[in-house]
Structure 1
Amino acid sequence: MQKTYSLFSIILITCVACAQQTQSEINIEEPTNLKYTTELVVPDLTIPWGMTFLPDGSMLITEKSGELIHFKDGTKTNIDGVPDIYQRGQGGFLDIKTHPDYENNGWIYITYSSAEGEGDGGNTALARAKLSGNTLIDFEPLYKAELNTKKGQHWGSRIEFDDAGYLYFSIGDRGNRDVNPQDITRDCGKIYRLNDDGSIPESNPFVGTKNAKTAIYSYGHRNPQGMAKNPFTGAIWVNEHGPKGGDEINIIQKGKNFGWPVISYGINYNGTPFTDITEKEGMEQPLFYWVPSIAPSGMAIVSSEKYPNWKGNVLVGSLKFQYLERLIIENEKVIKREKLFEDIGRVRNVVQAPDGYIYIAIEGKGIYKIVSK
C-alpha cells in the first residue's frame, strides 16, 4: 500500500528536520588568507573517477567511459587488458586502489560496472590484477553484486584498505531503495569487507547468518562515492549521496545499520517526504549531513605536513556546486565548513598521495595538485 501523508505530517517532518539539522546548517565560509592554489597536472580528462599512485610517483587513472590511463613523466598511456565495462547511467569504470604492499605483491584493485552474472543489465564488480608494461595481467574477479538490473543509478563505488589489511568497497542501492539497503540477504546499499584475496573474513558480522551476504560489513547505505581511512584512528569513513538533502558522512562500524531509507534527513526530488523519521533505535546517525545536498564524491582526511593548517580536516568534493569542501572536525563533530576553489568544476575525487600532496580530479578538465602559493 502506498504511504500517504497529511498536511500535518508534512509540517511535522519539516519541523523535526529543522530542529535536528544543527550540523548541516553550519554556514559554509569563503576561506580567508588561503595559502594554497591548484596546479593542473593531468589535462584533458572527461570523468576521471579513480586515481592511485605507483611507487615511482606515476599515476593510474580510471575514466568512467572505460579507459585505464597510466600517467608518467607528462605522458598518458592507455592500459590494455581492462575488463568489459558495462556503460549505463552513472555506471562505468569506477575506483582504483593499489595494495598497501604493492611494492612486493603488485596487486591493483578496481571496481566497475559489469554485465556478467544473472539477469539483464549490470551491477558493481570488484577485481584485482597486476600491471606488466602497458597491460593488466593475472586478472582475478573477486566480487560481483547480484542481481543485474538495467537501472542506471547508484553503483557506488570506492575502495579502501584498513590498518589490518582488510579491503573495503562500496556498492550503492542501485535505485531499489525499498528492498536492497535493509536486506542483508541481498547485495547493494552496503559496505563490504574482504580479505585481500577476495575471501570472506571469518570475523565479518554476518558470517553464520542464514542466507546473508557474508561479505557485508555494514548496511543501510544509499550511494557511497567517497571512502577514506582515517590516518589518525584507522577507522573507515564514507560519504554518500542522499536524495534531495541528506548527503551524509558516516564512520563505518561492524554490522551497523546506517538507516537508509528508513531514516533520512532528505526528501524526494519532487519535494515530497518518503519517511517521517530521522532517527530510530538500532540505526546509526551520521557524523554529518548536508542540507541542501552538495552531491559529495571523493574524500581525504589530511595528515600531510604539506598542509599543516589543514591537518585532521576532511576534504570532500562537491559535484553539484563545483568546489572542494573543507570540514574542520573536533570530537567527531563538524565545527566549521569552508568552500575551497569555488567554480573549479565538478570534483569527482580527492586523494592524498604518498608524496604528501592532495590531488583533486575535476570532470571535463583533469587532475589538479594543491600547492602552496
Structure 2
Amino acid sequence: MRITKNFSLSLAIVATTLGLLAALAPLAGRAQSDPVPAIEGPAVSVETVVSGLEHPWGMAFLPNDAGILITERPGTLRVWTKENGLSAPISGVPKVHAQGQGGLLDVALAPDFFRSRRVYLAYAERRDKQHSATTVGFGVLSSDLTRLDAFRPIFRQEPALSTGQHYGVRMAFDPGGRDLYIALGENNQPPTAQQLDHLQGKVVRIRPDGMVPRDNPFRSQRGARGEIWSYGHRNPQGLAWNPWTNELWVAEHGPQGGDELNVIQAGANYGWPLRTEGLGYDGKPVPGASATPLEGFTEPLHYWSVSPAISVIAFYDRQEVPGWQYSLFVGALKEQALIRLQFDEEDGNLVGEERLLEDLQQRIRDVRIGPDGAVYVLTDDQNGQLLRIQAKP
C-alpha cells in the first residue's frame, strides 16, 4: 500500500483535531457480522450478451427495454440494443484521465429521464500535471442514441490528489429522485478521509443540478465541505438503496482484509484510516488504526476478514426468482466471483453467502438487476463481457 510520507504524523493530527467531530457519528445500532454459512441457491445459466468491451465499468438500463448504456474505462460510452447489438462510441462524452484505476467510470440515468433524457457520468479528470480526481456531470442523450449533447460538470472532488488510485466511484439517486449521492475514494491519501475540508473518502449528497441541500449535516460548519453526507471511507465502489428498509448501503474496499458493507447515516464517521479490520498490504497493522471498535465510529454491517475486493452491490427486489428474494449481489474483483448474500425476511439479519461464476475466472465490475428479473454482470477485462445470469427452470 502506498502511503504519504508523513502518514503517521498526519494520522496523529487527524485523531487529535477531529475527536469532537467523531463524536457526531454514533455507534451503529447493528453489530458487525460474524462469518456466515455457505448456502446454495437456484442453479443458474450464464449467457454472454456481448463481448469485446474494453474494461467496462458501469451500466444503466434505458426505459422500455430500449437498451443498456455501458461505460468503458478508457473513455467511451456505448449502448447495446437487442436490434443492433453494440454501438459505436457515443459522441459528446467528456475527456477522461485514463490512468491506473481512473477513466470513464459510473453511469446513471436522471430520475426524470423520460422528460429530460439526462445521463450522468462519473469519471477521473486530470486537474494538473500530476493529479486527478473524480468529476460528475450530465448530458442529454439524443433520441437516436448516438450523441450526448450539452455535457456539463456539476461536481468536482476537491482538492485533486489522486495519482491514479482510489477514485471510488458510484452514484445513486434516492428513491424519490430528489438527491444524488456519490461515493468517493480517498485517492490513496488515507488521512484525508477524516478531514472535513477535503472531499476524499466521503459520500456526498447534492441536488441533480449540483446544488448543495441546506440540510446536509456539515453545511453550516465552518471549514467543512457542505456536500459531505458521511466520511471515513476508503475506496467505495458500490452504492445502492435497500428497497426493504429505505437505507443507503455502501460497499468499500478494505486494505488487506476488511472489505466492508456499511449502512450510511447522515454525519456518520466510518473510521478509515483510524478504524479497520484490515491490514496494510505489507501484512502489518495500518499505522494508527484500531482493530477493535472505537467510540464515535460507525461499525460496518458486515465485513470480510479476507478481502474478495468487492466492487458493486445490487439488491434483488423482483418476483421472477423466489430463491433470490431478500438477496444482495456483490461483485468481487480479486476473488473473481459474484457473491450472493441472503438476508432473513423477518429481522434482516445476514444468514448465508453463496459464490457464483467462480469457474469463469473473471473480475466482476458491475452488477445490475435487469427489467426481466435477470442479473446482469460486467466483467473487467481487455475483452470484457456483459453477462446475463438467470435461474434455470
| Contact 1:54–1:60 (8 Å) recurs in 2 | yes
**Match of residue 171 from structure 1:** 184
Q: 2:46 aligns to what SS in structure 1?
A: strand
Identify which of 105, 121, 130 aligns with 2:140.
130
The question of whether the paired residues in 1 share the 8 Å contact of 2:363 and 2:380 is answered with yes
Matching residue's letter, 1:370: I
Q: 1:114 aligns with which of 100, 108, 125?
A: 125
Question: Contact 2:232–2:272 (CA<8 Å) still a contact in 1?
Answer: yes
Structure-2 separation of matches of 1:219 and 1:74: 43
Aligned partners of 1:335, 1:65: CA distance in 2, in Å? 39
Residue deviations 1:249-300, cap 9 Å, x none?
0011111101111110000111100223331111100000001000001111
Which of 312, 315, 323 in structure 2 is aligned with 1:301? 315
Contact 2:231/2:267 (8 A) holds in 1: yes
Q: Secondary structure at the match of 2:53?
A: coil
CA 1:2/1:301 → structure 2, altered by over 3 Å: closer, same or farther?
closer
Aligned AA for 1:363? D
- Pair 1:369-2:378 in alignment: no
Post-superposition CA distance 1:98-147 (Å, at most 9, x none): 0122112211111000014x673210011111111311112121111122
Q: Deviation at 1:353?
A: 2.4
Counterpart CA distance in 2 for 1:154 and 1:24 is 27
TM-score in terms of structure 2 length: 0.86
Corresponding residue for residue 52 of structure 1: 60
The amino acid of 1:71's aligned partner reads W
* Shift of residue 26, structure 1, vs aligned partner: 2.6
1:175-215 CA distances to partner (integer Å, 9 max, x unpaired)? 0002x101111111000111111111111111111121111
**Aligned residue identity for 2:351:** I
For residues 33-68 of structure 1, the C-alpha deviation after alignment (integer angstroms, 9 at most, x for no partner) is x33221111221131110001124201100011110
- Whether the 8 Å contact between 2:162 and 2:187 is mirrored in structure 1 is no
Q: Any unmatched runs of 5+ in structure 1?
A: 5-20
Q: Partners in 1 of 2:221 and 2:176 — Cα distance?
A: 24
Contact 2:248-2:264 at 8 Å conserved across structures: yes
Q: Which amino acid aligns with 1:349?
A: D
Output the CA distance in 1 between the equivalents of 2:225 and 2:129. Answer: 18
Distance 1:155 1:22, change over 3 A: closer
Q: How does 1:239-254 map to 2 (within 5 A)?
A: 239-254=251-266
Q: Which range is displaced more, 165-174 or 141-150?
A: 141-150
Name the CA shift for 1:162/1:323 in 2 (closer, same or farther; >3 Å): same
Residue aligning to 2:28: none
Q: Mark the CA change 1:119 to 1:164 in structure 2 (over 3 Å): closer, same or farther.
A: farther
* Partner of residue 194, structure 1: 206
Q: Does 1:319 align with 2:333?
A: yes
Question: 2-side partners of 1:236 and 1:130: how far apart?
Answer: 27
What is aligned with 2:354? 338
Given that 1:119 and 1:148 are in contact with CA atoms closer than 8 Å, whether structure 2 keeps it comes out as no
Aligned residue among 202, 209, 234 for 2:221: 209
Sequence identity (%)? 37
* TM value normalised by structure 1: 0.90
Task: Report the aligned-residue RMSD.
Answer: 1.9
Aligned residue for 1:222?
Answer: 234
Count residues in correspondence.
353
**Deviation of the 1:25 alpha carbon:** 2.8
Matched to 2:133, the amino acid is: N
Equivalent positions of 1:16-27 (< 5 A) are: 23-27=33-37
Q: In the alignment, is residue 353 of structure 1 matched against residue 370 of structure 2?
A: yes
Moved more, 181-190 or 142-151: 142-151
Q: With CA pairs under 8 Å and 6+ residues apart, which has the higher RCO, 1 or 2?
A: 2
Question: Is residue 317–residue 324 contact of structure 1 (8 Å, CA) maintained in 2?
Answer: yes
Conserved? CA contact 2:312–2:365, under 8 Å:
yes
Q: Helix, strand or coil for the counterpart of 2:281?
A: coil
Contact 1:162-1:235 within 8 A present in 2 as well = no
Asked if 2 retains the 8 angstrom alpha-carbon contact of 1:42 and 1:74, the reply is no
Alignment pair present for 1:290 and 2:290: no
Task: Report the 3-state secondary structure (helix = DSSP H, G, I; strand = E; otherwise coil) of the residue aligned with 1:173.
Answer: coil
